[in-house]
Structure 1
Amino acid sequence: MKDLINIRVLQHDTNDQIRIGMAYPIIDLDKAEKDIVDNYEKKTAWCGGFKAACEKYYQRIAIVRADTLEVIRPIYPNK
């Protein structure tokens, strides 16, 4: 069984504003990333979807540890 970890989504926009979402537990990091991207895709459909919104409005989106805010996995840009 995989370990349970608490994550947050960090969003850094082009105006240098940083937003950090509420903490929630996950078991599968890959599934969590897919769910986060799918959620952004739905929210940003009006401007061309996730990729287009990232290029226009965000410098960075990442999954971070809820307690330390250490980046676990970058979502955009995916380096």
Structure 2
Amino acid sequence: PGLIPLKEIYHFEDFLTHERDWHSAVTQGRELLHVYRHAGEEVIVWYKEKPRTTVTTRRGMGLYYCYLTFSKRKDAYYHE
């Protein structure tokens, strides 16, 4: 929990959809990000009210580390 800072959600989605061939989907409920690729591959980032953090799957964590490594946004490395 808390790996992906709230301020990076939209940049992370932009990275996945424009550079990694993922497609955006409509978010539902507490979802902050919902992207998919091929049959059955999807990444969802949820918002937990307590303690106000983001939560994602292992695939989401792996893709976020890919984002940190290959993104042109150097300030993405620094969390608040």
TM-score, normalised with respect to structure 1: 0.30
> 1 or 2 for the larger relative contact order (CA 8 Å, sep ≥6)?
1
Higher helix fraction: Structure 1 or Structure 2?
A: 2
Choose 1 or 2 for highest CA Rg. 1
TM-score, normalised with respect to structure 2: 0.30
